[in-house]
Amino acid sequence: MTQPSRRYVFATIAVGALARPGGAFSAPEPRLTVWRTAGCGCCLAWVAHMERAGYRARVIDTEDLAAVRTRYRVPDDVAACHTALIDGYVLEGHVPAEDVRSLLLQRPPAIGLAVPGMPRGAAGMEQPDGSREGYFTLLLLDGGARRTFSRH
C-alpha cells in the first residue's frame, strides 16, 4: 500500500479543522464585542444565544452606552439595552443569530442591524410561558435611513 502524499494529508487536516457539527463546512464565526450596562441580565441572555450559535463574545460593561451608540452611528430611536460590533457591523439590541449570519453572508453596504426596544420573545428575551410578540429586525443605512431586514 502506498503512503498518501503530503498534499493529501494537509488537505484532509485542513478540511477536518473547518468541519462543524452536522456536516457543514465553514470558517469560525467572527468575534463579537458587546457593550452593556452592568447588571442587565437580558444582555447576557442575548450573549448566551449568540454563543450557542457559534459566536465568541467579549462583553464590556460601560456606564455610557449612549457614547458607544454615537461612535457606531446607531440612531437614538432604535436604541436598546446593548450594542455589539461584529466584522465591521453594529448590532443594536436583541438581534437573532440567524439575522447576524444572513448579514455577514450578504455583506450589504450598511451600518448594521437593530431590534428596537426589548420585544417579548426576541433572542435573549424569551419568556417562561413561551409568549412572544412580533417584531422586525431593521437594516441600518447611512444617514439614518433603515429598512426591514427580517420579520419575526
* pLDDT tens, per residue, the chain with 152 residues: 455 444 433 333 333 333 333 345 455 567 899 999 888 888 899 999 999 999 999 999 999 999 999 999 999 999 999 999 999 999 999 999 999 999 999 999 999 999 998 888 899 888 889 889 999 999 999 999 999 999 99
Task: Report pTM.
Answer: 0.79
Q: Distance (Å, rounded) from C-alpha 29 to C-alpha 25?
A: 12
- Residue 41: closest CA among 80, 81, 78: 81
Please tell us whether the domain made up of 29-151 is placed in CATH 3.40.30: yes
Alpha helices in the chain (DSSP H): 6-18, 41-52, 65-71, 97-106
Quote the CA–CA distance of 50 and 28 in Å, as a whole number.
Answer: 13
